[in-house]
Amino acid sequence: MRKTLPTEVYILALLLAIVTLYLVAFVLPHTPVYHGDSSPIFLMEAMRMGGGQVIYRDFFEPVLPGTQYLFLGFTKLFGLHTWIPSAIFVLLGTFLAWAGVAVSKQVLPKDLSLLPSIAFLAFAYVTEPDPTHHWCSTLAVMMALAVLIKRRTPSSLVLAGLLFGLATLFTQTIGPAAVLGTVVFLLWEHWAEHQGSRELLKRLLLLLVPFAAVDLIAVGYLSARSGWHDFAYCLIVFPSKFFRQWYWNTPQVYMADSEMPLFASHLLQFPALGIWFFVHFLVPFIYLIFLVRMFRQAKRHPLEPWDKLTLLTSVGLFEFFTVAYSASWLRLCSIAFPAIIVFVWLVKTSRRSLLTATNLLWVTSLTLLVAQAAVVQLSVRRWISSPAGPIAITDADRYEKYKWIQERTRPDDYLFDASDCDVYFPLELRNPAAVPFLTASEYTRPEQIEQVISSLEKRQVHFVLWSVWLDAPLHLPSNKNKLALLKSYLRSRYHLAHGFGEPDYEEVWERNR
């Protein structure tokens, strides 16, 4: 029988993980690192909502606004500060680790219950240090699983339904997928345990009614504020017709949305290659391996927690189905937690040396966490004293862009960034258009282009940022002619004032006097 390590060891390991999250999000002692990936969209929209604008009516957004309200709540409590997204990133990672431990200890021995959380943080979470809606919905789902996995009591089913409803408010596909996976599990449990039909119906209602209540109340409130027509277009019509017209929402993005880290420029980045392979091949294949193992060994090993692992597998598979069409790196990482727990269980039950395998996973995970923190702390950084507070920027070209814009604008000025949203929040600038950005694909609609031109003319916007990738997109499908009307307008009212290098190769167009 293996000896278990003292509880203090696991507490220290969890504290180390939290410290590394801080070191990824902040440069010592307390300067936030501004990554400017997905969260700037929601930060910008939270600023618009704080200024009195109504989501879906006054600006376009195809995702339910849980993340925007989260950022808005923080800014209402603390004011507009650049440390807010970094602090939320640390808090989300901490609660995700806690929820992972709560789930893992139901299927793993005590000495392994922390390992999936550490592995998730190392292989998935810190690779995308951006508090976007994917992580928020993942946290809600993991909390629901922590409630459900021990036993399916009436109170746990109701609470899980509420949490799945909350997950929907962040990512509208994840909540329903998790609910559907849970329903399939309840049907399997009904069959396996020979439950009565009345008991099954009771369980389904206890799960589904709270889930539906949360979402119906939210939909009613949002549609009443914005108007049903605008709400339905943003969240129903547009996603069903045009969401898949953009490259990043197509099957082509699988294993291609980020460069494989085979030729890392920094020695500490070489572990990224292992992360890249691990995540891409973990989901959904680990679930298939588990199902084969269960069908072969469930009767011979009845003491294994087959029911709890089946719940994780069912929910995990249905989550994967929501991202399978456009399985980008971030989307795969955000749904990988159940798969990592099942993976650790499979390692635990392997006939090969358990001690060697788990120790290797411990060492690899902790090493990756420390390495990621070291990369941030040791990288060459630039500092911007923005109106919302200081920020550290690791990219030289992005720094030059921020510095140039800051020297020529003031807070609350209008500026339109055609291909991104990263400048609005730290510099407290305003987007004059209803859309957060443009694309050279059918994802961007003709009426949105017309609205951009109208807004630029109405507000006499002084600067427009334009990425050359809008003129020469790297990926198909694309429709450059869609942007020709806007580019013609820029040439008639603006002149090219400046240019920036990688990663966006942006141009600054300045309005003619």
Dump the DSSP string for 123-168: HTGGGS----HHHHHHHHHHHHHHHHTT---HHHHHHHHHHHHHHH
Which residue type sits at 404?
W
Whether residue 372 is found in the same domain as residue 432: no
Whether residue 59 is found in the same domain as residue 180: yes
Give a yes or no: residue 453 inside a domain.
Answer: yes
Give a yes or no: residue 381 inside a domain.
Answer: no
Whether residue 167 is found in the same domain as residue 266: yes
Whether residue 301 is found in the same domain as residue 222: yes
Distance CA(452)–CA(230), nearest Å, equals 17
Whether residue 360 is found in the same domain as residue 492: no
Please, where are the H alpha helices in 6-153? 7-25, 39-50, 66-78, 83-104, 115-123, 133-148
* Domain endpoint, select from 329, 349, 376: 376
Whether residue 212 is found in the same domain as residue 327: yes
Whether residue 359 is found in the same domain as residue 315: yes
Whether residue 30 is found in the same domain as residue 146: yes
CB 133 within 8 A of CB 140: no
User: Helix crossing, 354-378 with 271-282: angle to 10°?
Assistant: 120
* Per-residue three-class SS string for 425-479: HHHCCECCCCCCCCCCCCCCCHHHHHHHHHHHHHHCCCEEEEEHHHCCCCCCCCC
Give a yes or no: residue 493 inside a domain.
Answer: yes
Residue 92 in 3-state DSSP?
helix
Give a yes or no: residue 401 inside a domain.
Answer: no
Whether residue 427 is found in the same domain as residue 490: yes
Give a yes or no: residue 253 inside a domain.
Answer: no
Query: What's the total number of domains in the chain?
Result: 2
Give a yes or no: residue 118 inside a domain.
Answer: yes
CB 251 within 8 A of CB 326: yes
CB 175 within 8 A of CB 164: yes
Distance CA(489)–CA(91), nearest Å, equals 44
Q: pLDDT tens, position by position, for the chain (513 residues)?
A: 344 556 677 677 778 888 999 999 999 999 999 987 789 999 999 999 999 999 999 999 999 999 999 999 999 999 999 999 999 999 999 999 999 999 999 999 888 899 999 999 999 999 889 999 999 999 999 999 999 999 899 999 999 999 999 999 999 999 999 999 999 999 999 999 888 899 999 999 999 999 999 999 999 999 999 999 999 999 999 999 999 988 889 888 888 765 444 444 455 455 666 677 788 888 899 999 999 999 999 888 888 999 999 999 999 999 999 999 999 999 999 999 999 999 999 998 876 666 677 888 888 888 888 888 988 898 877 899 988 899 999 888 889 999 999 999 999 999 999 999 999 999 999 999 999 999 988 999 999 999 999 999 999 999 999 998 888 765 655 555 678 899 999 999 999 999 887 656 889 999 998
Whether residue 446 is found in the same domain as residue 355: no
Whether residue 473 is found in the same domain as residue 327: no
Give a yes or no: residue 382 inside a domain.
Answer: no
For 294, the domain range is 7-241+260-376
Whether residue 357 is found in the same domain as residue 496: no
What pTM, to 2 d.p., does this model score?
0.93
CB 161 within 8 A of CB 209: yes
| C-alpha neighbours within 13 Å on the C-beta side of residue 438 | 33
Give a yes or no: residue 247 inside a domain.
Answer: no
